[in-house]
Every structure is written in C-alpha cells, then in structure tokens.
Amino acid sequence: MNSAPILVVIVNYRTAVMTARAVEAILEEARKRGDTSIIVVDNGSNDGSVEILSGEIARLQATDICTLLALETNLGFAGGNNAGLKHYLETAEHGTSPEYVWLLNPDTVAEEGALSALIDFMRGTPEAGLAGGRCLRTDGSIRPSAFRFHTPVSEFIAALDIGILTKALSNHQLVIPVGLSPIRAEWLSGAHLMIRGCVFERIGGFDARYFLFFEETDFCARAAQAGFEAWHVPASRVVHLGGQATGLTEFGSSPRQPRYWFESRARYFLRHHGIGATHIANLLWLVATPIGKAWAGLRGRPRHDPPSFWRDFLKHNYGRGGLMYQTRQILSQ
C-alpha cells in the first residue's frame, strides 16, 4: 500500500455492504486531498466478506488508494486496528508511521469534509493527540461520543439515572455535553477517532486483551498519562448506526450482555483504579441499578438495559469463576 501521511482504518466483521458504503463515503475527499490511504481489515468474517469487499473496492476504482487486509481470525476491535497499522508499517516506505490515523467504524457514513475537519483541527492544536467528531443517529440526533473516564461515582450516577442527582454531580457524569465548538474530553468514541502517529510511537497500539469495549477508553487513558490531550471536534460529522456487528444496539431490544463486555470493564477498572476501587464501583452499581429501575418505572420512563443485566453483572463478577476472583491474573497479563 502507499505510504500516505494519513491512514484510514476500517475494521469489518460480517458487515461487508456497510463497510463498502463507509469507504465510498470518504473516497472523494480522500482522493481530493491526495495524502490519504485507506485500509479495510476483514476481521476473520468467514462469510464471504473478503470477496464482497474486494469486488466493491474494484467497482469503486479504489485499488490505488484502498487496501484490503484479510485476517484469519476475529481479533476484536483492538486487534483488528493494530493489524491494520502494522500492515501499513510493514509495507510503507522506510517503515515510517503515518502522521495521522483515522479509525472509522464500518457502520458509519461520513459527511463531506469530516476527514479534513479533524486534520485541520489537529494541525492547529499541537497539544491534541486525539480528536473525535460528532456521531449522529439516522434521525439526526446526537449519539454520545465525548466522555469522562469511568469512576465508581460515574458508575453510581449512570446506574441510578435520576435527573436531580445527575445534575448535582454533573462533573462526574460519564457523557460530556457537546455544543458547536471543540471541547476537551477525557476519552472519545473509537467509532470516529483521529490519532496522531506519534501517540502510537509513544504508548504503543491498542491493548488487544480488550476484545471489544473499553479498548478506546484504556487507550485514551494511557495517552493522557503520556501528556496527550483528547478533543471533541463537532465540525467533523458521521452518521453512526451502532451495534451492527455485535448486535448490542443503543436502544430497543438487544441480546444479553456478552461476557467479554464484563471482562473488558473489569480489566479497565482494575488497571486504572485498582482492586479496592473496582469492588466499590461494582457495589455501587449493584445497589443503584434496582433503585434506578424502580424510579424509572414510577416515572413511566423506559430504561434500555440488556435483558438480565443485573444478574449477569453479579454472576460474571462474583459468581462461580467470577472476574473479581481473578484480579491478580487479570492485572498480571
């Protein structure tokens, strides 16, 4: 592949048609810029995605700018993006890192200028190591994409979901309200995320032990520890469907939360808060969730928790073989 200074990485898992649409949405802007290459990583889909994507890239006449990397197994979000960056480094001239890496979900459709808005902001804000844009739902409403780091207090607030308490503790709320101007965030959604190449050089890639979820939170935390700022840039906009590969949608009926979500959450909390604070966060969540559900029921307000979420949380963390009995093992990995 060519060694353009801007690399776009899109990781596909059994969403080939959507992935092709994501490529098509950014293709014109990438061509006009002349400094961008795209790599599509198929994450071991084994469903014909490679053939579909190969045909779509040819149909779009994008073989000069877009490379398809087919992996044998599903490495998850972290592993898939790491593989894309590794392929770039192995095939680029002199093995040099890209100046910028834009991670883009396969179930996104970027609006015109989404790439350039992030690049322009990053070049004008040298202290920014990461920048994410506005994610929209199909109805035009805003999907949260700028956040504060998870803490025991934020877990308590989110589990209760009681308006007066949320307002009183707004500085600890997970989701950061966004407006029309760029703002500092602590971590950003990996669905639409620009990262300076020097950040990877300083802290390494994503932690592949996170199969899905919390991997971008962990990455942003490590970047912050290394002195890099994270910013939300609303001028860069994509429509993000969400949950198309995992089935874990934002609203509506979803499957039960998979064990890997609980594993990723435990890894993040243990790594960044320690064993004691993780137990406290778990206890606050377990106590607050039934109260929050009861309060929502009294107010006639729906909650969108996955089925059996409270029981699964208790089982995966404290049931037989629970994650909180493996804390030293998780931390030593």
In a domain, 250, yes or no: no
Same domain, 190 and 266: no
- Please state the domain count of the chain: 2
What average pLDDT does the segment 127-144 reach? 95
Strands (E), 59-164: 66-71, 100-104, 108-110, 128-136, 142-143, 146-147
Per-residue pLDDT, averaged over 291-307, amounts to 91
Ranges 233-242, 283-292, 297-306, 311-320: which has the least confidence: 297-306
Q: Based on the fold, state whether residues 204 and 272 are members of the same structural domain.
A: no
51 lies in which domain range? Answer: 6-149+186-240
Q: Assign residue 96 the CATH number of its domain.
A: 3.90.550.60
Question: In this structure, is residue 246 part of a structural domain?
Answer: no
pLDDT range class, residue 252, cuts 50, 70, 90: very low
161-181 burial string, b = 16+ CB within 10 Å, else e? bbeebeeeeeebbbebebeee
Residue 1: pLDDT above 80? no
Considering the domain architecture, whether residues 131 and 275 belong to the same structural domain is answered as no
Angstrom distance (rounded) from CA 330 to CA 312: 19
pLDDT tens for 172-207 read 999 999 999 999 999 999 999 999 999 999 999 999
- The pLDDT tens digits for 21-71 are 999 999 999 999 999 999 999 999 999 999 999 999 999 999 999 999 999
Q: State the Cα torsion 293-299-303-307 to the nearest 10°.
A: 50
Q: What is the CA radius of gyration of the chain?
A: 20
Statement to judge: residues 94 and 192 lie in one domain: yes
Q: Is residue 226 domain-shared with residue 277, that is, in the same domain?
A: no
- Burial class from Cβ neighbours inside 10 Å (0-12, 13-18, 19+) for residue 333 reads exposed
Of 149, 287, 144, 119, the C-alpha closest to 225 is: 149
The verdict on 270 and 212 lying in the same domain is no
Please state the rounded mean pLDDT for residues 195-224: 96
- Asked if residue 218 lies in contact with residue 118, where contact means CB atoms within 8 angstroms, the answer is no
Domain ends where: 240, 273, 304? 240
Give pLDDT tens digits for 267-280: 999 999 999 999 99
Using one digit for the tens of pLDDT, what is the confidence trace for 82-115?
999 999 999 877 667 899 999 999 999 999 999 9
Task: Assess whether pLDDT exceeds 90 at residue 249.
Answer: no
Please, what is the end-to-end C-alpha distance for the chain in angstroms? 34
